[in-house]
Chain A
Amino acid sequence: MNHLAVIQVIIPLLSAPLCLLLRWRTGAWLIALVATWTTFGVSIVLFRTVTLHGAITYDMGGWPAPWGINYHIDSLSALVALIVCGIAALTLAYAHKSAKHEVRPESLRAFYALLLICQAGLLGIALTGDAFNMYVFLEISSLSAYALIGLGQRRRALRAAFQYLIMGTIGATFILIGIGLLYSLTGTLNIQDLAARVVLIPESAYGHRTLITAFAFLTVGFSLKLALFPLHLWLPNAYTYAPSVVTIFLAATATKVAVYMLLRFSFCILGKRFVFEQLTLGNILLIPSLAAILIASLVAIFQYDIKRMLAYSSIGQIGYMTLGISLNSHAGLSAGILHMFNHALMKGALFMVMGAVAYRTGSVYLSDFRGLGRRMPWTMAAFVIGGMSLMGIPLTAGFISKWLLVEATLEVGWWPVTGVVLVGSLLAVIYIWRIIETAYFNPRHEIEHGTDEAPLSLMLPMWTLIGANIYFGINTTIPLQMAKRAATMLISGGTL
Chain B
Amino acid sequence: MNSMVLMQLCILVPLVGALLIGLSSRAPNIREGVTLMSAALLFAVVCGLYLNPDALTAGALVLAEPIAGIAIKLELEPLGLLFAGIASLLWLITSLYTIGYMRANNEQHQTRLYVCFAIALASTMGIALAGNLFTLFIFYETLTLSTYPLVAHNEDEDAVIGGRYYLGILVSTSIGLLLPAIIWVWYAGSSIDFVPGGVLPLNMPPASVWVLLFLFAFGIGKAALMPIHRWLPEAMVAPTPVSALLHAVAVVKAGVFCLLKVVVYIFGSEILLQSGANILLIALASVTIVAASLIALRQDNLKRRLAYSTVSQLSYITLAGAILTPVSTTAAMLHMAAHAFGKITLFFGAGAIYTAAHKTRVSELNGIGKRMPWTMGAFAIATLSMIGVPPAGGFISKWYLFQGIWTSGYGMLLLVLLLSTLLNCAYFIPIVHAAFFRPETYTPEYTPAQTHGEAPWTMVLALCITATLSIVLFCCPDIVVQLARLLHGGG
Contacts and interface: CB of A to CB of B under 8 A. Distances in A.
Query: B164, B179, B186: which has the most chain A beta carbons within 10 Å?
Result: B179
B172 A394 contact: no
A141 interface: no
Contacts of B183: 403, 406-407, 410
Nearest to B64: A474
A418 B180 CA distance: 8
A404 B67 contact: yes
A395 interface: yes
B176 A426 contact: yes
Nearest to A473: B66
Given A429-B175, A474-B66, A407 B187 contact: yes
Contacts of B440: none
Interface stretch (A9-17, A157-165, A268-276, A433-441): A433-441
Given A410-B183, A422-B175, A433-B167, A441 B67 contact: no
B67 A400 contact: yes
A476 interface: yes
Interface string B111-143: 000000000000000000000001001100110
Interface SS, B side: helix
Contacts of A440: 149
Contacts of B180: 406, 418, 422
A317 to B, nearest CB: 16
Interface string B149-164: 1001001000110011
Interface residues of A, number: 30
Contacts, number: 65
Nearest to A407: B183
B147 to A, nearest CB: 14
Interface in B171-189: 171-172, 175-176, 179-180, 183-184, 186-187
Query: B67, B142, B152, B186: which has the most chain A beta carbons within 10 Å?
Result: B67
Query: B66, B72, B138, B179: which has the most chain A beta carbons within 10 Å?
Result: B66
B145 interface: yes
B66 A475 contact: yes
A429 B67 contact: no
A323 to B, nearest CB: 16
Contacts of B168: 429-430
Contacts of B152: 441
Given A422-B176, A433-B167, A394 B138 contact: yes
Contacts of B175: 391-392, 422, 425-426, 429
A44 interface: no
Given A425-B175, A426-B176, A410 B66 contact: no
A426 B221 CA distance: 15
A423 B179 CA distance: 12
Interface in A285-338: none
A238 to B, nearest CB: 31
B145 A393 contact: yes
B187 A410 contact: yes
A302 to B, nearest CB: 17
B138 A395 contact: yes
A422 B137 CA distance: 15
A491 interface: no
B133 to A, nearest CB: 11
Interface in B41-69: 64, 66-67
Interface SS, A side: helix
A475 B66 CA distance: 5
Interface size class of chain B, counting residues whose CB lies under 8 Å from the partner chain: 20 to 34
B160 A400 contact: no
A452 interface: no
A394 B184 contact: no
Contacts of A480: 67
A219 B184 CA distance: 34
A443 B179 CA distance: 35
Contacts of A400: 66-67
Nearest to A395: B138
Interface string A383-415: 000001001111100001001101100110000
Contact of A429 (B72, B138, B163, B171): B171
B100 to A, nearest CB: 26
Contacts of B67: 400, 403-404, 476, 480
A480 B142 CA distance: 24
Contacts of A476: 66-67
B397 to A, nearest CB: 33
B186 A407 contact: yes
B22 to A, nearest CB: 11
A426 B173 CA distance: 9
Nearest to B72: A474
B66 A406 contact: no
A327 to B, nearest CB: 15
B115 to A, nearest CB: 13
A430 B186 CA distance: 28
Contacts of B141: 393-394
Contacts of A443: 155
Interface string A454-496: 0000000000000000000111100010000000000000000
Interface string B404-447: 00000000000000000000000000000000000000000000
Contacts of B137: 394
Contacts of A441: 152, 155, 159-160, 163
Contacts of B176: 422-423, 426
Nearest to B179: A422
B179 A406 contact: yes
B274 to A, nearest CB: 24
A422 B186 CA distance: 17
Contacts of B163: 437, 441
A425 B179 CA distance: 11
A421 to B, nearest CB: 9
Contacts of B167: 429, 433
A410 B164 CA distance: 31
B66 A426 contact: no
A271 to B, nearest CB: 30
A429 B187 contact: no
B61 to A, nearest CB: 15
Interface string A246-280: 00000000000000000000000000000000000
B160 A410 contact: no
A430 B70 CA distance: 28
Contacts of A391: 175
A143 B411 CA distance: 77
Nearest to A415: B180
Contacts of B64: 474-475
Interface string A440-452: 1101000000000
Contacts of A395: 138, 142
A480 B68 CA distance: 10
A403 B164 CA distance: 25
A103 B368 CA distance: 68
Interface in A25-71: none
Contacts of B138: 394-395
Contacts of A392: 175
A443 B155 CA distance: 9
Contacts of B164: 433, 437
Nearest to B140: A394
Nearest to B153: A441
Given A407-B187, A410-B183, A437-B163, 5 more contacts: A406-B180, A429-B168, A440-B149, A473-B66, A475-B66
Interface of B: 64, 66-67, 70, 72, 134, 137-138, 141-142, 145, 149, 152, 155, 159-160, 163-164, 167-168, 171-172, 175-176, 179-180, 183-184, 186-187
23 contacts: A392-B175, A394-B134, A394-B138, A394-B141, A395-B138, A404-B67, A407-B186, A407-B187, A410-B184, A410-B187, A422-B175, A422-B176, A422-B179, A426-B171, A426-B172, A426-B176, A429-B172, A433-B164, A437-B163, A441-B152, A441-B155, A441-B160, A474-B72
What 7 pairs across the A-B complex have the smallest Cβ distances? A394-B138, A474-B64, A426-B172, A476-B66, A425-B175, A441-B155, A422-B176
